[in-house]
Chains A and B, each alone.
Chain A
């Protein structure tokens, strides 16, 4: 089993739709979690951190489910500009001396 797994997609949804992705992780002791966004042929950029209590930033909501070992990202009222690859990032121990693991990414395409 991969340490961090994501559905590669692509997810192709109409503008205005709500879309959700999950990311599963294998190390139950993992401490910190993030969602990064990567546009085509660009570098990844932080979208949001994922806190135990869940967090929301405008149209984006991130949740952590420790019991089932997954994190999720929900995008409401999707825009054309949301088209990108969304990378799940897990730090197994939460310390600066640990190996940070990126998932392979989920591709999202928003159609007009």
Chain B
């Protein structure tokens, strides 16, 4: 079974630039998560989708971050404009159901903002 795919794996940008990350979840998984993991910290949930609807985006900095999941499959996360403190690994995860179900993580995108 193919895992969660993410691209790019690495991205270096300058502050105030824009960047977008892509995630393809495991086939058939209805729930998709985007996390931000800063070095030395645990993953912080940014947004959770159930199919193509948003379940929770309370920790998404909506002035600069946006995410969408068209057709309930692939998802993109965008940052515009980026700040230095956005440097982190952005992890995408998917699960087949609710919170009792295992989350499968992609390899992440390591973002460096200079």
Which residues of B are found within 8 Å of A98, using beta-carbon distances?
Answer: 56, 99
Residue-wise, chain B 96-114 has the 8 Å CB interface mask toward A (1 for contact) of 0111101101111000000
Please report the C-alpha to C-alpha distance between residue A95 and residue B50 in the assembled complex, in whole angstroms. Answer: 12
Task: Tell me whether A43 and B41 are in contact (CB under 8 A).
Answer: no
**Cβ-closest chain A residue relative to B92:** A43
Please give the distance in Å from B10's CB to the nearest CB on chain A: 11
Please give the distance in Å from B32's CB to the nearest CB on chain A: 12
Chain B residues touching A, majority SS: loop
| Contact residues of A between 21 and 67, Cβ < 8 Å to B | 31-32, 42-46, 49
| Contact residues of B between 19 and 41, Cβ < 8 Å to A | 31, 33, 35, 40-41
Interface centre among A4, A32, A46, A96 (most CB of B within 10 A): A96
Residue-wise, chain B 43-72 has the 8 Å CB interface mask toward A (1 for contact) of 111001010000110110000000000000
Cβ-neighbour of A102 out of B44, B97, B98, B107 (below 8 A):
B44
Which residues of A are found within 8 Å of B108, using beta-carbon distances?
Answer: 43
A91 at the B interface (CB under 8 A): yes
Task: Tell me whether B103 and A46 are in contact (CB under 8 A).
Answer: yes
Please report the C-alpha to C-alpha distance between residue A91 and residue B97 in the assembled complex, in whole angstroms. Answer: 14
Please give the distance in Å from A81's CB to the nearest CB on chain B: 19
**Cβ-closest chain A residue relative to B95:** A96
**Cβ-closest chain B residue relative to A93:** B99
Please give the distance in Å from A22's CB to the nearest CB on chain B: 15
Which residues of A are found within 8 Å of B45, using beta-carbon distances?
Answer: 99-102
Task: Tell me whether A32 and B100 are in contact (CB under 8 A).
Answer: yes
Task: Tell me whether A99 and B105 are in contact (CB under 8 A).
Answer: no
Cβ-neighbour of A99 out of B58, B97, B102 (below 8 A):
B58
Please report the C-alpha to C-alpha distance between residue A16 and residue B107 in the assembled complex, in whole angstroms. Answer: 31
Task: Tell me whether A105 and B42 are in contact (CB under 8 A).
Answer: yes
Please report the C-alpha to C-alpha distance between residue A93 and residue B55 in the assembled complex, in whole angstroms. Answer: 14
Known: A32-B100, A98-B56. 8 other contacts (CB 8 A): A44-B105, A46-B103, A91-B100, A96-B31, A96-B99, A102-B43, A102-B44, A104-B42
